[in-house]
Amino acid sequence: MSEAIIEPDLPIIDPHHHLWDLRPMLSLFPEPRHHFIAGLVDNAHYTFDQLHAHLTSGHNIIGTVFMECGAFYNGAYGEARKVVGEVEYVNGVAAQSASGLYGPSRYCAGIVGHADLMLGDGAGAVLDALHAAASGRFKGIRHQGAWDADPEVLGPPFHAPEGLYRDATFRQGFAELGKRGMTFDAWVLEPQLPDVIDLARAFPDQPICLDHCGTPLGVATYRGKLHERFDTWRHNIHELARCENVVVKLGGLAMAFCALPEDGPAAGHGSEHLAALWRPYIETCIEAFGPQRAMFESNYPVDYWGADYAVLWNAFKRLTRSASVEEKAALYAGTATRFYGLEDLLG
């Protein structure tokens, strides 16, 4: 769907997107595919050219942060350090962008990789190797903890162990982040928000970002239950916001998991419709965390399930029409700048 760009001059740092080539992986999943896998088929190859096309579709994207997605691992480095290959690849994309040949935006100015924190103290050596691979851009890691008792919610690609963020060995590895001043992105599903609350309270000095508004669920056994579970989600969001070391990413709601919208991929919904669907979640998160601890994200290409890139940012801008200049500056660029240390992007 084509729309006129709302507030085209507003500076945006997109703090959450991926780069990958999933074509080899998709061949492993026979038809009929899980809803999440099916939604990725059209975006199985999402590298520099596709990213550039989206980031130049009308909004003023001045820079981005790459988020780990298990792509381009290098097995030659060994099992624990194969994750370094992803950071090396993305650092090359960042260098392409920094050349200026593709415009003034700085793609992948921040890089969030992955390290297996279940290595305990041994995770420190992997974190050091990740940093060395992109020392000027590497910011921290994400170790996703998404789990649900219903395997149909997540499908084959995911399923972390139940209670991962409460595991003693995981927390040994988690402590290695603080020793190095690195960030942590947490991805869990809505029923798991208490696990993030417990982790944040146990490590009050560790910067943590909750991804995707905590991922409300509207699929499988949760189908039709978004309204029923909203108050529980809202309570946990407010509890988590009491942890001053935590920020929240406003987005991810166009993922198939959320059913906001239910039909996809790229169903063609306009920004007004999407803004109406997302308003209760976005406004609750901003109310709980405040603009200084909240940042809008694209989560592309995953959110292509329900929203074109330009339309997605239009929907966000509709939701902040009554916000002040200062509040918009924080929500669209300032919070991401502070959390990921991207001060150079704002001059």
The answer to whether the beta carbons of residues 106 and 62 sit under 8 Å apart is yes
User: Number of folded domains in the chain?
Assistant: 1
CATH number at residue 326: 3.20.20.140
Residue 3 lies in a domain: no
Residue 4 lies in a domain: no
Residue 218 lies in a domain: yes
Across 253-278, average pLDDT: 88
d(Cα 195, Cα 185) in Å, to the nearest integer? 13
Residue 6 lies in a domain: no
Residue 152 lies in a domain: yes
First to last CA, the chain: 34
The answer to whether the beta carbons of residues 325 and 316 sit under 8 Å apart is no
Across 232-243, average pLDDT: 98
Q: Which residues, 6 or more positions from 227, have their beta carbon under 8 angstroms from its beta carbon?
A: none
Residue 256 lies in a domain: yes
Structural domain of 273: 11-342
Residue 272 has which token pair? 């007004």
Per DSSP, 5 falls in state: P
- For the cut 60, the answer to whether the pLDDT of residue 258 exceeds it is yes
Instruction: Write the single-letter amino acid at 171.
Output: R
- The whole-model pTM stands at 0.95
Residue 201 lies in a domain: yes
Work out the burial of residue 194: count CB atoms within 10 Å of its CB; fewer than 13 is exposed, 13-18 middle, 19 or more buried.
middle
Q: Which of 57, 46, 52, 51 is nearest to 101 (CA)?
A: 52
**Upstream peptide bond of 265 is cis (omega within 30 degrees of 0):** yes
d(Cα 65, Cα 139) in Å, to the nearest integer? 9
d(Cα 34, Cα 305) in Å, to the nearest integer? 13
Write the pLDDT tens digit of every residue in 173-212: 999 999 999 999 999 999 999 999 999 999 999 999 999 9
- For the cut 60, the answer to whether the pLDDT of residue 52 exceeds it is yes
Residue 322 lies in a domain: yes
Q: What is the pLDDT of residue 266?
A: 54
Write the pLDDT tens digit of every residue in 283-305: 999 999 999 999 999 999 999 88
